[in-house]
């Protein structure tokens, strides 16, 4: 089917954070079948932190990634199943196993300044016959020139697509436009954008990315994702139709899936809470909200203060263990100050 942009659905990966990684095989298959029936071309399925992310640090999965990927592949029809891999968490062997059960795309995710840890994973994805994506997280933490430099590295490793990822929901539309324009002028491969809604900018930023030349956009049905969630897929499809942009996705079917199948899975409706706003305001990784709130309750510290301090220390994804350390340190300082 002809498409002007291709949407990758992330509710079964980014949304894993929202359910504390407790997806069941049945839930994954129900959502995948609905997405495939609606015509979604790519469906990402893994632990929220990618292949092999299940751990005490990131959260233990109810069901092993590979079983969920295999279950999704079984009902995906013409849709392709994608997986996320963070080098240092997931390994080449994990990638091979995901490919062996039918995953067709790997999205190799690194911090925006650390693309150089990705070449072997991108190369292996290509060797396995997968589409390979370079996924530059926390892209607001690097100047435009650095972002372009790192994206060009991803492309040189063989990435078919390079994503600029607003992992904190920090960017404003004009900043997205500037960055996507710069990438478009410097790369030959396709450009993608992944947004978070912590400052209610995910849709505006996705539209800005499309207008600037991005042809791959991430969405999540019912905003199912970390922090305040991601760009809402069903709304994105409607907006694209208003703009005369083809997505190949049936609007009514994706709306029905969101309302009837996905909404009941949500422990809470995605909301722009005070913690989510602080994530976007401070530029902190969206998955930190839950961890900071839990640490705040444990140590009697406002979660927002913890998030601001994490931003000052430039803590990034993969350093979740520091949240407890920072909260404990702040509690000790508070106790000393009160004496």
pLDDT score recorded for residue 2:
66
d(CA 99, CA 119): 18
Q: Annotated binding site, which residues?
A: 13-14, 167, 194, 196, 285
What pLDDT shows up at residue 1? 58
| CB of 286 closer than 8 Å to CB of 169 | yes
Closest CA to 114 of 335, 318, 321, 325: 318
Q: Which residues participate in the annotated binding site for Mn(2+)?
A: 14, 194, 196
pLDDT, tens digit (0-9, with 9 covering 90-100), for 1-40:
568 999 999 999 999 999 999 999 999 999 999 999 999 9
Q: Is residue 121 annotated as part of the catalytic site, yes or no?
A: no
Question: Out of 17, 47, 111, 140, which one is annotated catalytic?
Answer: 17
Q: Give the separation between CA 192 and CA 165, rounded to whole angstroms.
A: 8
Residue 292 CA: distances (Å) to CA of 18, 25, 113, 184: 14, 29, 24, 36
CA-nearest of 18, 16, 32, 40 to 247 is 40
Measure the CA–CA gap between 169 and 166, rounded to whole angstroms. 5
Nearest Cα to Cα of residue 66 among 45, 89, 87: 45
Closest-CA residue to 42 (of 4, 71, 83, 88): 83
Q: Read off the pTM.
A: 0.94
Query: What DSSP designation does 263 have?
Result: G
Name which of 267, 258, 326, 255 is nearest 292 in CA terms: 326
Residue 73, phi then psi, degrees to nearest 5: -55, -40
What are residue 44's DSSP bridge partners? 82
Question: Tens-digit pLDDT profile for the chain (339 aa)?
Answer: 568 999 999 999 999 999 999 999 999 999 999 999 999 999 999 999 999 999 988 889 999 999 999 999 999 999 999 999 999 999 999 999 999 999 999 999 999 999 999 999 999 999 999 999 999 999 999 999 999 999 999 999 999 999 999 999 999 999 999 999 999 999 999 999 999 999 999 999 999 999 999 999 999 999 999 999 999 999 999 999 999 999 999 999 999 999 999 999 988 788 899 999 999 999 998 888 888 999 999 999 999 999 999 999 998 877 888 899 999 999 999 888 887
CA nearest to 117, candidates 153, 83, 93, 149: 153
- List, as residue ranges, the binding site for substrate: 13-14, 167, 194, 285
- For the chain, the average pLDDT equals 95
**Which ranges constitute the DSSP H helices of the chain?**
14-18, 25-38, 65-75, 92-100, 119-127, 144-156, 173-186, 202-211, 233-243, 251-256, 274-282, 288-299, 303-312, 321-338
Q: What domains are there in the chain, each with its CATH number?
A: 6-265 (3.20.20.70), 287-338 (1.10.8.60)
- Looking at residue 321, its pLDDT comes to 84
| DSSP 8-state code for residue 161 | E
């Amino acid at each position: 089917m002809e498409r002007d942009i291709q949407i990758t659905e992330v509710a079964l990966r980014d949304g894993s954070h929202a359910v504390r990684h407790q997806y069941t095989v049945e839930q994954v298959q129900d959502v995948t079948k609905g997405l495939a029936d609606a015509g979604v071309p790519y469906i990402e399925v893994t632990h929220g932190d990618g292949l092999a992310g299940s751990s005490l640090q990131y959260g233990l999965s109810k069901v092993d990634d590979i079983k969920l990927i295999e279950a999704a592949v079984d009902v995906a029809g013409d849709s392709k199943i994608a997986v996320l891999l963070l080098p240092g968490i997931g390994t080449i062997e994990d990638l091979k196993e995901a490919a062996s059960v039918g995953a067709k795309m790997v999205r190799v995710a690194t911090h925006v300044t650390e693309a150089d840890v990705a070449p072997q994973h991108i190369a292996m994805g290509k060797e396995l016959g997968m589409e390979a994506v370079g996924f530059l997280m926390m892209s607001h933490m690097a100047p435009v020139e650095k972002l372009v430099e790192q994206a060009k590295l991803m492309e040189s490793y063989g990435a078919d697509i390079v994503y600029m990822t607003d992992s904190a929901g920090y960017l404003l539309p004009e900043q997205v436009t500037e960055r996507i324009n710069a990438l478009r002028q410097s790369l030959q491969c396709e450009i993608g954008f992944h947004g978070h809604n912590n400052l209610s900018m995910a849709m505006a930023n996705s539209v800005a990315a499309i207008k600037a030349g991005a042809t791959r956009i991430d969405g999540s049905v019912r905003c199912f994702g970390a922090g305040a969630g991601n760009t809402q897929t069903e709304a994105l499809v409607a907006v694209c139709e208003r703009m005369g942009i083809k997505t190949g996705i049936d609007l009514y079917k994706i709306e029905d899936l969101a309302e009837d199948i996905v909404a009941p899975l949500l422990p809470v409706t995605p909301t722009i809470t005070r913690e989510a706003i602080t994530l976007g305001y401070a530029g902190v990784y969206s998955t930190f909200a839950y961890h900071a709130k839990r640490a705040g309750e444990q140590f009697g510290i406002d979660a927002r203060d913890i998030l601001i301090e994490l931003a000052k220390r430039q803590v990034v994804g993969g350093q979740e263990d520091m949240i407890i350390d920072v909260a404990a340190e702040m509690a000790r300082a508070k106790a000393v100050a009160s004496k």
